[in-house]
Each structure stands twice: as structure tokens, then as C-alpha cells.
Amino acid sequence: GVIYQDAAGNIISANKAAEHILGLPHEQLIGRNALDPRWRYIHEDGSDFPGHTHPTTIALHTGKPVKDIVMGIHNHNDDKFHWIKISTVPQFRPGQDKPYQVYATFDDITDQFLTFKALQEHEARQNAILENTTDAIIAIDRDFNITAANETSSNQYKLISGTSGKFEVGDRVLDLVTPDRRPYWENIFKQALEGRKLVFENRYDTDQGPIDLEISINPIISPSQEITGVSLFGRDITQRKQSEKKLRESELQYRTVVEHATESIYVVQSEIIVFARSGPSLITGYTGSELIGKRASGLIHPDDYEDSLAEYNSQQATDTQSRKKYVFRVIAKSGAIRWVEAHMTDITWEDKPAILTFQTDITEYKQLEETIRKTNRLYKMLYECNEAVVMADTEQKLLQNICNVIIETGGYFMAWIGSAENDEAKSIRPLAYYGHMDNYLESIKITWADEELGRSPSGKAIRSGKTVVIQDISKDPDFAPWIDQASEQGYSAIIALPLKSYGPANGVLSIYSSAADCFDQDEINLLEQLAADITYGITTLREHRQRERAEEALRESEQRFRKAVQSTTDIVWDWDIIRGDLDWFGDIDKMLGYDQELLPRKRAAWESILDSADHDRVMAALYRLAQTGEPYNVEYRINHTDGSKRTWIDRGLAIRDRD
């Protein structure tokens, strides 16, 4: 938006974008100033933004520009605060040190501002999860610099190093270990950067006695399958190690420790659970007595059983003594699926071979890992889509690149962008698409009309102008006309996002997922931001094309005008009343005996060569033309450089702006 304010701060001009952003028609904007009590401004923190500190007031008072101020302004149309970024520039008349007016330019950044706020809240939730876990969690980049770490990791470092200091994000992790241990850790991190997953235990002597840590090193893999760093999970297993030692010492000590352990513990013989203690967490929901006699394999998720068995047999073939770790899913008594980390070792139970298993519920860690992966993938997708918006030179290329990024980076199953046609059927015409589809769009019929075939997510989104989500297409009766074709393609969930600028939705972005219940609120918010970016890109490209056509038409019109003037012996002049500029078209210098363009192009120069007897009459006629629009038709004399007088006849009309 653009507005102009006079020296008193009153608005004297505003464009259509300003009217839309500020929520007021032109006639209500004119005459207002920043101190008008009807305005409501707020800072980013929600506090009041006084009118005397408004950027236009500051620019007029100081005579200096004010740049990129973010503020909220109440919009009367929707009774909400819209967020804008505003810059103001004072303007001066020649020779004056006080501005006679100021102009302000501002952009509506409401969507970006709210998305940023949502991101901050999302990051706060993630940090809360990190800080509430008892495990140390550290992430490092390929240069071994720490990019994330929780408080537990810092506390463990203090205990192990015997120092009071702590490491911070940006520190080089190899600088935190003693020189003699650096090659060891550098080798481990390099293996992870090559794609290996490492799990090992280390013992450290501390002032509080020895502690045992189980350390898991894993590569951090980006959505594009690039290894961008390493994650380290450190778990204090001192108590568990002590428990295992006691268990090996005697049956009595073993049972005593088991009763006080915090993990779920099982003894399995010939695949049957012969001893079980579920622990306080009750991972599966079964009590110890309910588990005895069950087949251990019956608790493992069917999709994980074969892999876990193959891994167990493989490790048994090479190492029968060490304790082994496995990660798999189990099915709880309620039917819920939980992730567990199981540590198994071979023992003798009642004179027969058996397997002792310690299980820890790691569902929250798995959910956190998935959330981090998904969030990184979505933000990378949003970044690449914004790049496509910036780089696109045609609308079709923009839409196609957006669809490609949604599939290749976003990891979705299929995406397409359609246009809401204003034909009789109110059809939706696909403009770009990508992903798993196999002629899907050609095989279905959809419309945005309020009828059965208009109740698809795309039709509803266009009609309502709001995001439409189907988390499971098999459970949505409105989707019945398309369920067979969609199921054949493997679609399970759909989100449709309207594409709109200043009016109703005129297009739609539809994204399909192969997994049901996959669109959470954070993801929906980011996809709505993506839809807004697409709309912005389309609008910008169209406005650019319109501007190019208008500029070309103006050039052609000017060329025709100049050719017409050059073909006549008359003089055509244009007087800008506000600036005082006077532009002649024709050979006026030659007519009056001046060298080429020596006669100044100012009204004062023209007045100076008027015959003094005619001057007042001519100027009075000119002012009547300017003030009342009375036609200007005057005959008068004008002075030639040779001293003679030439008689001229002027005819003119007034051209007025919209104010």
C-alpha cells in the first residue's frame, strides 16, 4: 500500500492496496492522520503503539526516512489486527529544510507474521520435549560443531569432565574431550557421517564414582537423503549395569533387583514368557501375571517380527556372550502400538537356557524423531517453493515447479493445482500436477458447484475459501463418488487449500497422502502459508504482465501523439499547474527567434514574453480554466526576439486528477 500525507500529517492520497490493507474506503482515509483516535496500533508484543511514534509522524518531525517498522493495525472490515511492515520517506521542496509531505509504503505481512509466531511456539514445544527427557541429546553438523543440545547433556558433561563449565551451541564437540580421546571420537563421528549407526557403552570415573553411559550415534539424514550431521543420545545406564551384575551373581539378588527395576523385564524360554515384571510404566498394559504363559512373539508388531528375529539370529551366530539391543514395536493390551528398546542376554533359568529381556518405552523418542524429520522436510519444501516463486518467469512454470517440490521434497504422494472455471458446469481445470496419479485426474469429474460432484475437498475449498482436510477418505461420505479411483492410486488422506488474492478463491492446491491421519495442525498451517505464497507468486506474475502491456501501450500512445504534433504547424503545450512546468511540442523556439530549446520550459518564461497589454486578460482566462473548467479560447500578442509582436490564438482544456 502507498499513502501520502501533507505537512500536518493528514492523508491526501492512498492507493487501492492501502484501502484494502487498512480496511477503509478512500473517502474515509482522506484527512486522517496518525494521531486520530480511531486508529488502533500495537507493537509485536501486543503493547500500544502511540500515534506520536508512528513512522509517518517521526519522518515529518525529524525530516529523516524511517524503514521497515513492523506494527499491527486494526482492520475494521474483519475486526482483526493486520500486521504490516512500513517505511516512510519525507519530501522537501527545493531550498526548504522542512518536509512538505511524506509518503509511506507498507506490505501486509499478516500471514508471515502469524506463521513466524506459530513456528516460535512449535520450537518452544520441541525444546520442552528435549529438556524434559532424562537422556542427553546432542546434534552436530559435518564440521563437528554442536547445533543442538539439551540441559541433561550439559550436566552429564560437567559430571564426566569434573568441570563447572558447560558447552553451548556452536562449540566444536572435539574440543570438549581430552586430546588423547579426540582421535577415538573423531573416528566414531566419521563412521556415522558415512551412514553407520553405532551403539556402545562407555564407563567414566567421576568424583561421584564410576558411571556407565549407553551412547547411540546416528546419522542425521535430510529429506533429500543427504547426511547433514550426527545425533548423539547418551543414557545413564549405571543403575542398569549394576542391576545386571547383581543378577548374574545370584538368583536371590537377581529377583531383588528385578522388583526394584524401572524397566519391563521378561524371561523367555522356547518363545514362552516364564517370568514377567511390567514395571511402573506398564508398556503393554498387561500385568506380570497376565504375561506369563504368552508367546513373546505375540506381543511384537507383525511388521517388525521377521526383521527382529533375523537380527537376533545373526547376532547369535557371531556373539553369544554380549548383551544385544533391538528396537521394535509392540501391541499393547488396548491395541495401541508402542515402540520399545529391548536389551537381551542369554541366561540359565531353572537349569534351562533362556533369554533375559529389559524393555524401555521409547515411543516418545520415536515420535520426537519423526516430528523433527517431518518438520525439517516441510520447512525445506516451503523454502524451495518460495525459491520457485522468486525464480519463476511464467505462471505455468511456477505451478509445475511447486507441484514437483511438494512431491520430491515434501514427500507427499500426489499434488495438483486447479483453476476454478466460470463455465456453466463450474468445472475445475487442472493447471499442473505431479506424483502418483496414473490418469487419476482424467478419470474423475469434479466441480466447484454446490452439488454432489462439487463436494470433493477441492470443490469445497473453492466454494468456501477455506482449507478442507479429509484425514481418511474411506470414512468421508462426501468423497464416495471418487473413492474407488482414489483407493486404486493408494490415496488415504487429502488436503485442499484455496488460492485467493483479494476476492473469492479462484484456484485450489490439492495434496494427497498415502497415510491416513497425517495432517496435523502445524502441518496445515505451513501448507496454508504455501498456498498464500503461490497466490502471491501468481498475482505478481500477472501484475507484471499487465504492467508490461500498459507500459507498451503508453509508449505507443506517446509515439502517435508526437508524430501527430510533428505533422502540424501548430504549437501544442502542456502546463503542469502543481510543478509549474510547461512543455511545448512543436518548433516554438524557431517561431519566436530563439536558438533550439533556449526558451525555458517554465510558465514564468512564457509569461515574460506575453505582450504586457494582454498579460492580465490571458492569465485570467487560464485561471478560470483551471478553477472552473471554462474552455480556454484566447487571442493575444507575443513578443518575438526581433522586437516584433506575433498574434497567437490558444485553445485549451483542463485535465484533472481523481482528487
Phi, psi of 103 (to 5 degrees): -120, 145
Q: Tell which wins on pLDDT, 151 or 194.
A: 194
| CA nearest neighbour of 529 among 109, 223, 120, 127 | 109
Q: Which long-range contacts (CB under 8 A, 24 or more apart) does 343-348 make?
A: 343/240, 344/312, 345/244, 346/320, 346/321, 347/247, 347/267
pLDDT confidence band for 624 (50 / 70 / 90)? confident
340: which 3 cell numbers?
A: 520399545
| CA nearest neighbour of 507 among 422, 576, 591, 434 | 422
Show the 3-state SS of 490-524: CCCEEEEEEECCCCCCCEEEEEEECCCCCCCHHHH
How many CA atoms are closer than 13 Å to the CA of 527, on its beta-carbon side?
A: 27
Yes or no: say if 447 and 425 are a contact pair by the CB < 8 Å rule.
Answer: yes
Q: Tell which wins on pLDDT, 572 or 17.
A: 17
Residue 120 has pLDDT above 60, yes or no: yes
The whole-angstrom separation of Cα 411 and Cα 373 is 11
- Predicted local confidence at residue 553, as pLDDT: 76
DSSP readout, 536-603? Answer: HHHHHHHHHHHHHHHHHHHHHHHHHHHHHHHTSSS-EEEE-TTT-BEEEES-HHHHTTPPTT-S-SBH
Residue 491 has pLDDT above 90, yes or no: yes
Yes or no: say if 526 and 488 are a contact pair by the CB < 8 Å rule.
Answer: no
The whole-angstrom separation of Cα 454 and Cα 441 is 15
Range with lowest mean pLDDT among 158-172, 364-378, 556-570, 595-609: 556-570
How many CA atoms are closer than 13 Å to the CA of 246, on its beta-carbon side?
A: 16
| Mean pLDDT value of segment 283-294 | 83
Q: Coil, strand, or helix at residue 33?
A: coil
In Å, the largest CA–CA distance within the chain is 136
Highest mean pLDDT among 117-121, 241-245, 381-385 belongs to: 381-385
Range with lowest mean pLDDT among 247-251, 454-458, 638-642: 247-251
Residue 386 has pLDDT above 90, yes or no: no
Show the 3-state SS of 287-305: CHHHHCCCEHHHHECHHHH
> DSSP class of residue 452?
G
Yes or no: say if 539 and 503 are a contact pair by the CB < 8 Å rule.
Answer: no
What contacts 580, CB < 8 A, 6 or more positions away? 602, 603, 604
- Predicted local confidence at residue 562, as pLDDT: 66
Yes or no: say if 509 and 534 are a contact pair by the CB < 8 Å rule.
Answer: yes
> DSSP class of residue 376?
H
585: which 3 cell numbers?
A: 511540442
For 495, other C-beta atoms within 10 Å of its C-beta total: 25
Range with lowest mean pLDDT among 12-21, 148-157, 350-359, 629-638: 148-157
The identity of residue 263, as a single letter, is: E
The identity of residue 365, as a single letter, is: Y
Yes or no: say if 360 and 341 are a contact pair by the CB < 8 Å rule.
Answer: yes
The whole-angstrom separation of Cα 593 and Cα 621 is 26
Residue 166 has pLDDT above 90, yes or no: no
Yes or no: say if 33 and 10 are a contact pair by the CB < 8 Å rule.
Answer: yes
Bridge-based pairing state of the strands 146-149 and 136-141 = antiparallel
| CA nearest neighbour of 313 among 273, 347, 355, 361 | 355
| Mean pLDDT value of segment 211-235 | 87
pLDDT confidence band for 439 (50 / 70 / 90)? confident
Yes or no: say if 414 and 491 are a contact pair by the CB < 8 Å rule.
Answer: yes
Q: Which long-range contacts (CB under 8 A, 24 or more apart) does 36-45 make?
A: 39/73, 39/74, 40/73, 40/74, 40/81, 41/71, 41/72, 41/73, 41/74, 42/71, 42/72, 42/81, 43/71, 43/72, 44/70, 44/71, 44/72, 44/113
For 90, other C-beta atoms within 10 Å of its C-beta total: 22
How many CA atoms are closer than 13 Å to the CA of 148, on its beta-carbon side?
A: 14
Yes or no: say if 493 and 472 are a contact pair by the CB < 8 Å rule.
Answer: yes
Residue 535 has pLDDT above 90, yes or no: no
| 207-239 exposure pattern, b = at least 16 Cβ within 10 A, e = fewer | eeeebbbbbbbbbbeebeeeeebbbbbbbbbbe
Yes or no: say if 296 and 304 are a contact pair by the CB < 8 Å rule.
Answer: no
The whole-angstrom separation of Cα 227 and Cα 220 is 6
> DSSP class of residue 457?
H
> DSSP class of residue 51?
G
pLDDT tens digits for 448-469? 999 999 999 999 999 999 999 9
The answer for 35, left when phi > 0, alpha when psi is -120 to 50, beta otherwise, is alpha
What contacts 430, CB < 8 A, 6 or more positions away? 416, 417, 418, 441
Delineate the domains of the chain, giving CATH numbers in brackets: 2-108 (3.30.450.20), 117-236 (3.30.450.20), 240-361 (3.30.450.20), 367-543 (3.30.450.40), 572-652 (3.30.450.20)
Average pLDDT, the chain: 84
The answer for 111, left when phi > 0, alpha when psi is -120 to 50, beta otherwise, is alpha
The whole-angstrom separation of Cα 488 and Cα 195 is 36
What contacts 82, CB < 8 A, 6 or more positions away? 21, 23, 72, 73, 74, 75, 108, 110
- Predicted local confidence at residue 237, as pLDDT: 85
The whole-angstrom separation of Cα 284 and Cα 357 is 14
Range with lowest mean pLDDT among 31-45, 423-437, 546-560: 546-560
| 262-290 exposure pattern, b = at least 16 Cβ within 10 A, e = fewer | ebbbbbbeeeebbbbbbbeeebbebebee
